[in-house]
């Protein structure tokens, strides 16, 4: 299928078809691919990673040789069903707000005995490589809320603070290009080259896209998680490597999820 | 009676405005600290990327919609950054400009040590030539830009200024301040001016 998209795009370009039409054709092909996936829900390659994540969640692992089944994702130890739909949230044991990946990271460190520094040293896969274990677990956890709505309350003082900080970071311009998240995501119907950009401060558009992550990315042939998505945005913003689980990353995810409140979770999604 | 109600409302609004301003400033300080802490592996010579200059601070605080006085302040400050070529020639080679417009290379952490000159990445946001159909739409389309302006000298200078520092004209513009922030050299900017303004350029054919 990937080849077919490329074929359509290349043909359109060679034929000198006006870009809007080439764009339409690409979108149509992509929509057809998504439709086929809906008809055959087992065809998204990310499901293999979700399965791997489930096995990792249940298997004794780490120096402590324990599974993550005692990990509390917010609904009690071991409860995965629906937990992602209520994240990010404040966790008293860690005394901070955490998104799914940051919480899994915490459980891997505190329960399984992994060294946090090792886990966050190179947490995201290179192009063509499979998602790392933590990302596979996050894909599994998120998939267990698929079909539900984002319903994180984010209403306590620390949670509200995270959402507000997230908005401030979203608009914070920095680096040699003066880039902020808002540079690309604060208007509707815009593109970078041919890539459409969601208007993320607007609930309607945020609801459509935030719930698709983690997603299988066809161009990278791997699953990309939300933390990885942000890491990649900051790379493009000419900033250094965003630390997984950093307060800034959690705040941004809190802000995005709050904006997408009520939106349907449809993960693992499928992206270009 | 009515005057006192108005006075009270005015005082309240003033207090609320000041409170909102203080809150935003507090959020900005927290955002500064959070950003500085979020990139612990950054090399020493990248620390400057966390620090905002006054214009970045004002644009962030006002979410790119600065009030009039601040917009004027930004415009004045940014205008003062623009440097012109020593020989006064504002146009270089449009074909080199096209290559600079196509390239998004430079200043990402995977771009070190530098393997080529930085690009302007103009096509990421602007339509320029008919031939390039893969263009973005964050910025206005520039097809026929020079032709539509009769290739005038005043417009040539205005284009130079916009590429060097877009905020000298449009405070809090999303466009990078390519010259002022030393992303591009003066010679590269001249080539881009030629791409937009030269009668020979594919932009104007």
Alpha-carbon distances, residue B32 vs A33, A254, B25, B27, B43 (angstroms): 42, 18, 10, 9, 18
Task: Quote the CA–CA distance of B175 and B125 in Å, as a whole number.
Answer: 9
> What is the count of residue pairs from A and B with beta carbons less than 8 Å apart?
133
Per-residue confidence (pLDDT) for residue A190, from 0 to 100: 95
DSSP category for residue A96:
E
- Average per-residue pLDDT in chain B? 92
Per-residue confidence (pLDDT) for residue B18, from 0 to 100: 65
Complex prediction ipTM: 0.91
Per-residue confidence (pLDDT) for residue A22, from 0 to 100: 57
Q: Rounded to an integer, what is the distance from CA A184 to the centroid of its chain?
A: 17
Cβ(A241)–Cβ(B109) below 8 Å = yes
Per-residue confidence (pLDDT) for residue A218, from 0 to 100: 84
Find out whether the peptide bond into A268 is cis, omega within 30 degrees of 0.
yes
* Positions of chain A with pLDDT under 50: 1-19
| Cβ neighbours of A168 in B, within 8 Å | 24, 27-28, 30-31, 60
Per-residue confidence (pLDDT) for residue B8, from 0 to 100: 52
Per-residue confidence (pLDDT) for residue B17, from 0 to 100: 58
Q: Is B49 close to A251, i.e. CB distance below 8 A?
A: no
pLDDT tens digit sequence for B113-156: 999 999 999 999 999 999 999 999 999 999 999 999 999 999 99
CA nearest to B138 within chain A: A190
Q: Is A176 close to B134, i.e. CB distance below 8 A?
A: no
Q: Which of B112, B133, B184 to mutate to test the interface with A (most CBs of A within 10 A)?
A: B133
Q: Is A240 close to B37, i.e. CB distance below 8 A?
A: no
Of B35, B63, B107, the CB nearest to A176: B107
Catalytic residue annotation of A: 233
Q: Is pLDDT larger for residue A88 or for residue B8?
A: A88
Q: Is A243 close to B134, i.e. CB distance below 8 A?
A: no
Cβ(B101)–Cβ(B91) below 8 Å = no
Tell me the pTM: 0.90
Per-residue confidence (pLDDT) for residue A1, from 0 to 100: 38
Per-residue confidence (pLDDT) for residue B16, from 0 to 100: 52
Per-residue confidence (pLDDT) for residue A18, from 0 to 100: 47
Per-residue confidence (pLDDT) for residue A6, from 0 to 100: 45
In the predicted structure, residue B201 carries a pLDDT above the cut 70: yes
In the predicted structure, residue B14 carries a pLDDT above the cut 60: no
Per-residue confidence (pLDDT) for residue B9, from 0 to 100: 47
- Give how far A41 is from chain B: nearest CA, Å: 32
- Give how far B102 is from chain A: nearest CA, Å: 10
The dihedral region occupied by B192, where left means phi > 0, alpha psi between -120 and 50, and beta the remainder, is alpha
Q: Is A174 close to B107, i.e. CB distance below 8 A?
A: no
């Amino acid at each position: 299928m990937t080849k077919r998209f490329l074929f359509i795009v290349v043909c359109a370009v060679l034929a000198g078809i006006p870009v809007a039409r080439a764009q339409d054709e690409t979108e149509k092909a992509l929509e057809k691919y998504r439709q086929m996936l809906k008809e055959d829900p087992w065809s998204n390659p990310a499901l293999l990673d979700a399965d791997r994540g489930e096995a990792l969640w249940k298997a004794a692992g780490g120096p402590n040789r324990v599974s993550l089944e005692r990990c509390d994702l917010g609904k009690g130890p071991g409860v995965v069903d629906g937990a992602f739909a209520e994240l990010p949230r404040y966790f008293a044991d860690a005394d901070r707000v955490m998104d799914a990946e940051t919480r899994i990271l915490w459980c891997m460190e505190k329960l399984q005995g992994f060294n946090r520094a090792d886990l966050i040293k190179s947490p995201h896969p290179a192009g063509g490589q499979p998602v790392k274990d933590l990302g596979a677990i996050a894909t599994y956890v998120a998939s267990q809320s698929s079909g539900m709505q984002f319903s994180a309350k984010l209403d306590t003082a620390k949670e509200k603070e995270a959402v507000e900080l997230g908005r401030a970071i979203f608009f914070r311009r920095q680096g040699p290009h003066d880039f902020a998240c808002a540079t690309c995501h604060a208007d509707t119907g815009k593109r970078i080259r041919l890539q459409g950009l969601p208007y993320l401060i607007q609930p309607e558009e945020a609801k459509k896209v935030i719930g698709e992550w983690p997603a299988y990315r066809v161009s990278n042939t791997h699953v990309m998680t939300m933390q990885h998505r942000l890491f990649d945005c900051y790379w493009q913003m000419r900033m250094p490597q965003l630390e997984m689980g950093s307060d800034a990353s959690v705040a941004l995810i809190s802000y995005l999820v709050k904006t997408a409140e009520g939106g349907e979770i449809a993960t693992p999604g499928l992206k270009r | 009676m009515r005057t006192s109600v108005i006075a009270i409302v005015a005082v309240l609004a003033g207090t609320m405005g000041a409170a909102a301003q203080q809150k935003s400033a507090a959020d900005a300080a927290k955002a500064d600290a959070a950003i500085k802490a979020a990139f612990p592996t950054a090399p020493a010579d990248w620390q400057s990327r966390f620090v905002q200059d006054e214009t970045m601070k004002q644009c962030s605080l006002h979410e790119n919609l600065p009030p009039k006085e601040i917009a004027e302040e930004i415009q004045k400050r940014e205008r003062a950054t623009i440097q012109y070529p020593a020989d006064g020639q504002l146009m270089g080679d449009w074909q080199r400009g096209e290559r600079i417009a196509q390239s998004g290379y430079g200043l990402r952490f995977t771009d070190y040590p530098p393997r080529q000159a930085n690009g302007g990445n103009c096509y990421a946001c602007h339509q320029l030539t008919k031939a390039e159909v893969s263009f973005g739409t964050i910025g206005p389309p520039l097809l026929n830009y020079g032709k539509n302006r009769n290739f005038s000298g005043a417009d040539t200078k205005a284009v130079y200024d916009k590429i060097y520092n877009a905020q000298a004209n449009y405070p809090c513009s999303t466009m990078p301040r390519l010259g002022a922030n030393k992303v591009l050299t003066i010679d590269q900017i001249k080539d881009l001016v030629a791409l937009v303004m030269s009668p020979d350029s594919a932009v104007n054919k």
